[in-house]
Amino acid sequence: MQPTLSDVAKEAGVSAITVSRVLNAPEQVRPATRARIESAIDKVGYVRNMLAGSLASASSRVIAAIVPSLSNVVFIEVINGLQSEFERHGYQILLGNTDYDLERECQLVRTFLGWSPSALVITGLRHSDACQRILQQWEGPIVEIMELGDAIGFNVGLDHTEAGRCMARHLVQRGYRRIIYVAAQIERDYRAELRYRGHREVLQAAGLEAPLLDMDQLGQFETGARALDQVLARHPNTDAIHFANDDLASGALLHANRQGIRVPEDIAIAGFNGLPIGQHVTPRLTTIVSPREVIGQMAAREVIARLEGEQTLYSSHDVGFTLSVGEST
Amino acid sequence: MQPTLSDVAKEAGVSAITVSRVLNAPEQVRPATRARIESAIDKVGYVRNMLAGSLASASSRVIAAIVPSLSNVVFIEVINGLQSEFERHGYQILLGNTDYDLERECQLVRTFLGWSPSALVITGLRHSDACQRILQQWEGPIVEIMELGDAIGFNVGLDHTEAGRCMARHLVQRGYRRIIYVAAQIERDYRAELRYRGHREVLQAAGLEAPLLDMDQLGQFETGARALDQVLARHPNTDAIHFANDDLASGALLHANRQGIRVPEDIAIAGFNGLPIGQHVTPRLTTIVSPREVIGQMAAREVIARLEGEQTLYSSHDVGFTLSVGEST
DNA sequence: TAATCAAATGTTAGCGCTACCATTACTTTT
DNA sequence: AAAAGTAATGGTAGCGCTAACATTTGATTA
C-alpha cells in the first residue's frame, strides 16, 4: 500500500495537516519542521494522492482540453501552446479527441467536467444543444478556440470567413477567373466551411462562379493529389484551386511536380494554415498563416490569469492571420 | 453547487448506492428502477464526480501517457493510436510532455502517479535513477514504447540499432562510400543515437568512415535544408546522407529541388519513419517505415487486456520496420 | 403454503486529503 | 513582567463516492 500523509506525519512527529502545508504552502511551516517533514517524505517514499486532495479542495489543477482531431498538425500545435504555458504553472492536461463528432464532444465534456477541472478549453463555437446547456451551467472558466464569434466563455481565434475572403480576393486580383474551392469532408469541418463562404461571397461579388469540390476522405497529401486529378479531369479549364488547408494544397503541389503540371502556369494552387511544408515546396505555396501556437498560449494565459484571481472580463481575442504569397498563384 | 449522488437518490426515492449502480453496473438494477433513476439524473442535471469515485474505488480509468515531444508527428501518431483504443474502452488520457528532459520526466511520473492512473505509458527505456525507482515500486501496469530492450513493464517498439544497420547496409549496397549521418540534437534523442550506432557498425565493418553531423536545433524541414548546405560545403565529396528522420530528410530533399541539386546523382538522401511526405516528394524518399500508430494500439490493447483481468505475462513486442526504397538513393 | 434462494436494494464505514477554526509557541511592545 | 499580537501547529469534520456486508423483495420449488 502506498504511504499516506499521516504515515509521513507519524514519521516526522507532526500532524497530517502540517505535512499537507509543506506540500501546498511551505512558507507557512518553520524551516526546521519543513526539513524534517521533507526527509520523512523521502524516507517513506510518499507519493501525493491528487484524487483525495482535489476532492477535498474542490480544485484539481487539471485542464480539460478538447480538440476535434489529433491527425491534424494544427491542433497539435495548439495543444503544444497550451501545454507549454499550463505545465509551467503546474497544471496537467486531460486530452480529449472528438473526431469531429458533436455527440462525442458532448460525452467528453460530461466526463471531463466530472474531474472538476480548473478550466475547459474546447475547439470551435458549435456544440450540440445538450453540450451547450452543460457548458452554460458550468461555473469554471471556458475558452473556445480557433473560431471567433458568439462564445460561451473566452474566445481566442481568427475570423475564418474573412480568411476565405482574403484568399479569394487575392486570387481574383491575380486574374484567375475559374477558381474552385476544394475541401475534405467539409460538413465535418465547420471552419473550412466558413472559409468557403467567404470565398464564395467574394467570387460572386466579382460575378464569378464558386464551385466546390468536397473530397470524401479526410485531408492529407494523398487526398490533395487525387483532388488535383479530379479537377483537371472534370473541370479542365479551371485556372486556380483554393484548398481548404495546406495538407491538401501541398499534396496537390507535389503531385503536380511529379506529373509535370506547371504551377501556377497550368493551374494555381493556394492553401490555408501556413504549415512549414508550404514554404519548402517549389513553387512556394500561397497560403494564409494562422498563429496556431499563439492560440494555445493566449488561451492558456487567459485561463491562468483568471485562475490566479485577476479579474479579466470574458471577451474575445482575434489572433489574426497573414496572407503569405508564394509563387504558386 | 453541483448536485450529488444523494440528490439524485432523493429525487428518485432510492438510496445513493443504487444510483451509483446505475452508473457503474446498470445490469444489477431492475429496469423500472433504473429508468426512474435515469430520469432523475437528467432532471437534476447530475454530473458524475470522477474524483470522489476514483478515490473511493482506488481506480481512475485514467491512463497516464508520457511522450518526449509534441512537435514530432511520430508521437502524435502514437498518441492517436493510444487514444483510439483507450477511449473506446472508457479510459481518459492524461498527457505529459517531457521535452526530452529526464528530470522533467521524473517529475511528471511523480505527479501522474498521484492520480492513481490505471496504467502508465511512457516513451523509451532510459529514465533517471529516481524515476526508475518510482516506476519499479509502482504496482500498476507500465508500458514502455518505441524502443525494445530491458524494460520495467511491457515493451512495444522496434529495434532502432537494427533499423540503423538496415539503412546503412542499403546505402553501402547501392555503392555509396562517403556516407554521413545527420541528426538534430542527438544527445537528447536516444533512439536516433541507437540508429547511428547501427549505421556506424555496418560502415566500419565495410571499412568505411562513419562521420556524424549533429545539428543544434530540433529537426524540422529548415534544419534538414541547412544540414544539406553544411554537408555540401564542409564535406563536398559526400555521396549519401543518412538522416535521423524524415523531417530532416524531406527538408533536405525539397531544398535540393529548389537549388537544382540532383538527388541521388549529386547526393543520395535517406530518412527514417516513413512519413507520408516522403512518398510525395520527387524523387521519393528512401526511408524506414515504422508502424507508429500500431505501437500505440498494441500498447493500449496490452494494457486493456491486463486491466480486464487477462493474465498476460510482462513481455515485449517487436512491431518491426520495413525498408522502403524510393528514388532518392 | 412454507421453505428456499437469487435478485434487488440498503446501511455503514471509510478512501486520503484539506477547510475551518482552535490552540499553542514565540515575539514584540509598553 | 504582563499584555498583546503574530507565527506555527493541531483537531475535527467532511469532500462525494464505492466496497463490503446486511437486509429486503419477489420468484421458485416442494
Task: Map grid coordinates 500500500 to a residue.
Answer: A1
User: Does residue A313 surpass a pLDDT of 80?
Assistant: no
Distances (CA, A) of B303 to A70, B90, B126, B140, B156: 21, 13, 21, 10, 11
List the one residue out of A79, A70, A126, A74 whose CA is nearest residue A103: A126
Mean predicted confidence (pLDDT) in B302-321: 83
- CATH class of residue range B58-158+293-319: alpha beta
* Residue range(s) of every CATH 1.10.260.40 domain in chain A: 5-48
Nearest CA in chain B to A283: B258
Mean predicted confidence (pLDDT) in A272-295: 94
pLDDT at residue number A306: 86
> Structure pTM?
0.88
Q: Which fold has domain A160-289?
A: Rossmann fold (3.40.50)
The separation, in Å, between residue A23 CA and nucleotide D1 C1' comes to 40
pLDDT at residue number A240: 98
pLDDT at residue number B306: 86
pLDDT at residue number B217: 82
User: Does residue A314 surpass a pLDDT of 70?
Assistant: no
B218 touches chain A (CB under 8 A): no
The separation, in Å, between residue A43 CA and nucleotide C25 C1' comes to 28
Q: Name the closest nucleotide to B55, judged by C1' and CA.
A: C15
Q: Which fold has domain A5-48?
A: 434 Repressor (Amino-terminal Domain) (1.10.260)
Distances (CA, A) of B69 to A78, A81, A133, B74: 14, 12, 36, 9
Distances (CA, A) of B43 to A110, B38, B46: 15, 9, 8
User: Does residue B311 surpass a pLDDT of 70?
Assistant: no
Phi, psi of A91 (to 5 degrees): -105, 145
Cis peptide before A264 (omega within 30 of 0): yes
Q: Are strands A212-215 and A179-184 parallel, antiparallel or unpaired?
A: parallel
B51 touches chain A (CB under 8 A): yes
* Residue range(s) of every CATH 3.40.50.2300 domain in chain B: 58-158+293-319, 160-289
pLDDT at residue number B313: 64
- Partner-chain contact B70 A48, CB within 8 Å: no
- Is any atom of nucleic acid chain C found less than 7 Å from the CB of residue B59? no
pLDDT at residue number A219: 61
Mean pLDDT of all residues belonging to chain B: 93
Q: Where is mean pLDDT largest: A83-87, A93-97, A176-180?
A: A176-180
B111 neighbourhood in chain A, CB within 8 Å: 48, 50, 92
Which pLDDT band holds residue A127 (cuts at 50, 70, 90)? Answer: very high
A130 touches chain B (CB under 8 A): no
Which pLDDT band holds residue B103 (cuts at 50, 70, 90)? Answer: very high
- Partner-chain contact A54 B51, CB within 8 Å: yes
Which pLDDT band holds residue A72 (cuts at 50, 70, 90)? Answer: confident
> Residue closest to D15, CA→C1'?
A56
Nucleotides of D under 7 A from a protein CB: 7-12, 14-20
> Residue closest to D13, CA→C1'?
A56
Mean predicted confidence (pLDDT) in A108-137: 92
Q: Which of A83-92, A117-126, A200-209, B208-217 has the lowest mean pLDDT?
A: A83-92
pLDDT at residue number A220: 84
- Partner-chain contact A110 B47, CB within 8 Å: yes
Q: How is chain B split among helix, strand and coil, in percent rounded to 5?
A: 50, 15, 35
Mean predicted confidence (pLDDT) in B148-153: 92
CB-CB: which of B50, B111, B257 is closest to A92?
B111
pLDDT at residue number A285: 98
pLDDT at residue number B314: 66
Mean predicted confidence (pLDDT) in B127-150: 92
pLDDT at residue number A45: 87
Q: Name the closest nucleotide to A53, judged by C1' and CA.
A: C17
Mean pLDDT of all residues belonging to chain A: 93
For the segment A158-180, what is each residue's pLDDT rounded down to a tens digit? 999 999 999 999 999 999 999 99
CB-CB: which of B52, B97, B113 is closest to A55?
B52
- Partner-chain contact A49 B116, CB within 8 Å: yes
Q: How far apart are CA B153 and CA A137, in angstroms?
A: 43
* Residue range(s) of every CATH 3.40.50.2300 domain in chain A: 57-159+293-320, 160-289
Q: How far apart are CA A136 and CA B34, in angstroms?
A: 28
Count the neighbouring beta carbons within 10 Å of the beta carbon of residue A25: 9
Mean predicted confidence (pLDDT) in B168-192: 95
User: Does residue A283 surpass a pLDDT of 80?
Assistant: yes
pLDDT at residue number B70: 85
- Is any atom of nucleic acid chain C found less than 7 Å from the CB of residue B35? no
User: Does residue B1 surpass a pLDDT of 80?
Assistant: no
User: Does residue A1 surpass a pLDDT of 70?
Assistant: yes
- CATH class of residue range A57-159+293-320: alpha beta
List the one residue out of A49, A222, A175, A258 whose CA is nearest residue B112: A49
pLDDT at residue number B133: 87
- Contacts of strand D, CB cut-off 7 Å? A 13-18, 21, 28-30, 32-34, 52, 55-56, 58; B 1-2, 4-6, 16-17, 20, 23-24, 46, 48-49, 52-53, 55-57
For the segment B59-96, what is each residue's pLDDT rounded down to a tens digit? 899 999 999 988 888 898 999 999 989 988 889 999 89
B59 touches chain A (CB under 8 A): no
Evaluate whether B71 touches B219 at the Cβ level (below 8 Å): no
Q: How far apart are CA B121 and CA B64, in angstroms?
A: 6
Mean predicted confidence (pLDDT) in B212-237: 92
A54 touches chain B (CB under 8 A): yes
User: Does residue B315 surpass a pLDDT of 90?
Assistant: no
The separation, in Å, between residue A57 CA and nucleotide D8 C1' comes to 22
